[in-house]
Structures are given as C-alpha cells and as structure tokens.
A and B are shown apart, each in its own frame.
Chain A
Amino acid sequence: EPEVTQTPSHQVTQMGQEVILRCVPISNHLYFYWYRQILGQKVEFLVSFYNNEISEKSEIFDDQFSVERPDGSNFTLKIRSTKLEDSAMYFCASSSGLVRDTQYFGPGTRLLVL
C-alpha cells in the first residue's frame, strides 16, 4: 500500500541553524501539506501546496519557513533560522484532491532545537 515517507525521523539542531525536512508524498497525489505538533498538544496546520505553489498558509508559517518541490517526488520544508519554540513533530501529508478527500500522513520528523 502506498505511503508517505519522511526523513529524517529525528533531527537535533542548534538554535539559529537551518533545517530541511524531507517528504515523499504518495505518487499520484497532487496536494501536499505540512503540519506540526508540539509535544502534548494538538496537530496544527502550517501550509498546503498545489501545482508548485502555496495554496494556503497559517500564521505560524512566517518568513522563516519555506516549502519546495525540488523534483517530481520530494516535498521539503525549510526552517531558515530555528528557534527553541520550533521544537515539535512535523508531519507531511498528501491527498489526491478528490471530493471525498483524505489526507494521508507520514510518520513525522521529530525536531529538537537546543
């Protein structure tokens, strides 16, 4: 069964450093998303992406964040200068865009900013 994959599973970084989180969505899906979950809290939407551009972004997704689809399979989230409060689980999701659409999530990348 096709699935969303994410790398790395864990990332530890120093405050101020740049991180790139990588995702491979399900191959025939057209819509891609990033969500984050701070430890013990609910899942929050960051950004959605379709046709090589951002469809929607939340207030969390400020200038420190960017997304890219560098090739036909990868979808990346870059945090330019990490802050302590960026420590969270980051989930990539993808969907087909059909009416009864389900977003399928990857296993997540746990980011720890020290």
Chain B
Amino acid sequence: DVVMTQSPLSLPVTLGQPASISCRSGQSLVYSDGNTYLNWFQQRPGQSPRRLIYKVSNRDPGVPDRFSGSGSGTDFTLKISRVEAEDVGIYYCMQGTHWPPTFGPGTKVDF
C-alpha cells in the first residue's frame, strides 16, 4: 500500500493568519491517465469527513477560496490563506491513484 505522511501532525494556528500542511506519498501519484488523484479532507469534531480538494488543486463546491491545494508527483500542500474559527479540525490527505486508497495520518489544526 502507498504510505502517506503528513507534517506537522499538530498545527497550532492563529485567527486570520495563514496555515500550511504538507503531504508526501511513498510513490508518484500520477495515474496512467495523466491525472494525479490526491484529495484533501477536513473532519470537524464529531462530524463526517468532508472533501475540500480533489485532484491536487480543485476545490469542491461550497469550499471557501481561502483553501488551496498544490503539488505534484509525491509532494503536496494544503494552504489556508487566513484561518477562521470554523477551520478547527483534522485534515487528511488521501491518494486514489493506487489501490487501495490510503490516507495520511491526519493533521490536527487548533488554536
């Protein structure tokens, strides 16, 4: 299975300030069709996961534009341009290029 790592695992944040989470995969996530199937999920306390970003940099409908994704190959980043109170939670990257899909360990974002 493809191992996904994230850093940091805990991220203290400040309201209005930027934040960044790194995700690395054990092998390239470029699929044979040329797409890179790297997603980012947010899980608020007591809630189901919510996908924020798909295929590296595409925001899902309703996701604020302060969230952005970037990267290629094996290195990816989720950025929050200005942290808001509702952004508290755990953020997971997930690869869907290789079976089985695998998640990173999660990054806990809190004040």
Asked if chains A and B come from one complex, the reply is no
Q: Which residues of A contact B (CB under 8 A)?
A: none
Q: Which residues of B contact A (CB under 8 A)?
A: none
